[in-house]
Chains A and B, each alone.
Chain A
Amino acid sequence: MSTLTKQNLFEGFLETSFAGFEKTREEGKASFLKQGLPTLKSEEYKFTAIAKKLEQSISSFQNAKPFEVNAEEVKAGIPEGFDGTVLVFANGHLIPDLAIQAENLAFSKLSEKPETAIGSIAKANKDPFAALNQSSFDEGVFLQIPKKEVVEKPILLLSFNKANEGQLIQPRVWIEAGDFAEVTFITHNINKSEEPYFVNKVVEIKGGVNSQIRYYRVQNEGKNAIEVSNIETNLLQDSRFTSVNISLSGEMVRNNLSLNLLGSNSEGNMYGIYLLNGKTHVDNHTNVDHTIPHAESNELYKGILADQSRGVFNGKIFVRQDAQKTNAFQQNNNILLSEDAIVNTKPQLEIWADDVKCSHGCTTGQLDEEALFYLQARGIDKTQAKGLLLFAFAGEVLEHIQDESFKNYCIDLVQERLGSKF
């Protein structure tokens, strides 16, 4: 395929591996055709030239076929110290035989759940890639935590990705936590080929009354991989959702994370770290919608950028007229380690209610040379002193991970990166 247009892009990959969801797919397709691929003129994508990148890197716009993964690979892919349930995916296709069930968990392939209200939370008309996925997602998973069930151990969603015939990987995840349910998800991906591929993922999460959902994610895609994800959560009364997102690699990554606070006393938390080097480009667009009174949102993203990497942070907070007594906090801080690294950060607050507590702040700076000298003057090696300072800057984000063993895993991961790579 020579030039990428919404029309010719479409013809190639409409093919999906199962029937069903016809109406949903039609709506997705119509919405995608209407929106088209974002150009740099699109306000939402002005710093992230994703269409151009796709055109350069991806030649076969076909859904990549699932492939064989063995138990050894699964074992090797599980983060050290992890104890819980594991669900394995190959190019977005669930492989039930490889699941490791630590606790009883209801899950099925999406193709077996054709009544699922796909697109009712992450709406196609809000983002062209969400629409694209809705039109042609190729399998996915349906997860349901019944009312009052407390899933003690975390659930790992382990994805193996590689270009396989097609270069398009379009996972779709539907998560439902019943009233008073509690659950922790960890997502982790293993890159299986150097050949470029494009992951276009959509995750829809429904949090019942007084539910608690934690969603932790390590993004360590291959250096030629492009990824767009749309994760959207609806929160009912007294529920709480916490996302921690750690971006470490990939060629170009765009994360759309949206929380809809639909019930009073609900709480949405979004935390993130991006540690970028080489030419990695990571764009975090977050959106929290306060629709009702007495809800709270907290957001903290920290970035460390080396080499020619590029970071984008855009944080929207929408407080509707009815959403009195809202508490909304947002913070984005960045350290640039090279003159060629760039970060674009923008808070976007739209507040229609008058009795709210809102604060936001963003900073971009360099490593504190005085602090570095102080540590060196006490005998600490320069590289290690840098690592210490950078971890002191970014590490607080990891404190929001509740699962101890995963937290320690992430601390090691981040420290290793800060010690060796920066």
Chain B
Amino acid sequence: MLSIKNLHASIEGTPILRGINLEVKAGEVHAIMGPNGSGKSTLASVLAGREEYEVTEGEVTFKGKDLLDLAPEDRAREGVFLAFQYPVEIPGVSSTNFLRTAVNQVREYRGLEALDAVKFLTMMKEKMKLVEIDQKLLSRSLNEGFSGGEKKRNEIFQMAMLEPTLSILDETDSGLDIDALRIVSNGVNQLKSKDNATIVVTHYQRLLDYIVPDFVHVLYKGRIVKSGTKELALELEEKGYDWIKEAIDSEATV
């Protein structure tokens, strides 16, 4: 479904991603871990189409299409969803209006008819249950004044509404209490199918107890330096990143 080959990206001339290779197939869950500043969010942003990042080398195909060639909105319409590490507050834009515009533009692109107000509300109610999000939140401006946990829940709610094929969850677990973590993970698990895939970026093993990954990758200095199965996450939890950093850094000096 997603194939990343030798991806290099920089911001304002500073290289951040330095040769990423990753294959994600339908039905799989990949976890990306790694120390702060290693480039995890950058990778997520580049996949979603953020313009500030310049791709200097490499290629990304998604469902056979050149992903890097598409505008951010078209990537979303093709089925890429990014749950932001820091969702943006947008005063004055009502959550409901925003979602309805988004859902209908995505549907139009996919050749589905637009939802009228009634159908949209029905769908909203159904998906709200999934992440146990309060109606009151959605009557407010988008993310405005939401708590950290509420913002994360809203991301997963939007994901449920947009029905993506590839979801990239950037630290969706950070800042969630244990109940919220369970609810959000449940939501993600219910949306999982053999036809879609998930990339979870996280620092914590506890999320991976709920969303069990098929593969775990360690990102360090803009490269995937180690890949393994879910046991790798447990090992990282126990030993930290130093052993990996040392191995890589000593290699680099040789």
Q: Which residues of A contact B (CB under 8 A)?
A: 368-371, 373-382, 384-385, 388-389, 391-393, 395-396
Q: Is the CB of A378 within 8 A of B90?
A: no
> Top 4 nearest A-B pairs by Cβ distance?
A392-B92, A379-B76, A376-B72, A379-B106
Q: Is the CB of A382 within 8 A of B98?
A: no
Residue B105 is within 8 A (CB to CB) of chain A in the complex: yes
Known: A376-B76, A377-B76. A384 touches B101 (CB 8 A): yes
Interface of chain B residues 77 through 122 with chain A (CB within 8 A): 77, 82, 84, 87-88, 90-93, 98-99, 101-103, 105-106, 109
Q: Which residue of the partner chain B has the closest CB to A388?
A: B93
Q: Is the CB of B87 within 8 A of A373?
A: no
Residue B49 is within 8 A (CB to CB) of chain A in the complex: yes
Q: Which residues of B contact A384 (CB under 8 A)?
A: 101, 105
The distance from the CB of A191 to the nearest CB of chain B, in whole angstroms, is 31
Q: Is the CB of A370 within 8 A of B88?
A: yes
Kindly state the interface size class of chain B when it binds its partner: 20 to 34
Q: Which of A370, A373, A389, A392 contacts B72 (CB 8 A)?
A: A373
Q: Is the CB of A379 within 8 A of B102?
A: yes
- The answer for the CA separation of A391 and B141 in the assembled complex, in Å, is 13
Q: Is the CB of B98 within 8 A of A377?
A: no
Q: Is the CB of B49 within 8 A of A388?
A: no
- The answer for the CA separation of A368 and B51 in the assembled complex, in Å, is 13
Q: Which residues of B contact A (CB under 8 A)?
A: 48-52, 71-73, 75-77, 82, 84, 87-88, 90-93, 98-99, 101-103, 105-106, 109, 141, 158, 162
- The answer for the CA separation of A373 and B162 in the assembled complex, in Å, is 16
Q: Is the CB of A379 within 8 A of B90?
A: no
Q: Which residues of B contact A371 (CB under 8 A)?
A: 88, 90
Q: Is the CB of A382 within 8 A of B71?
A: yes
Q: Is the CB of A377 within 8 A of B72?
A: yes
Q: Which of B50, B84, B102 contacts A380 (CB 8 A)?
A: B102
22 intermolecular pairs with C-beta atoms under 8 Å apart = A368-B90, A370-B88, A371-B90, A373-B50, A374-B87, A374-B88, A375-B93, A375-B102, A376-B73, A377-B48, A377-B72, A377-B75, A378-B76, A379-B103, A382-B73, A384-B105, A388-B98, A388-B101, A389-B90, A389-B93, A392-B90, A392-B91
The distance from the CB of A100 to the nearest CB of chain B, in whole angstroms, is 36
Q: Which residue of the partner chain A has the closest CB to B109?
A: A379
Q: Which residues of A contact B77 (CB under 8 A)?
A: 379
Q: Which of B52, B71, B87, B99 contacts A376 (CB 8 A)?
A: B71
Q: Which residues of A contact B49 (CB under 8 A)?
A: 373, 376-377
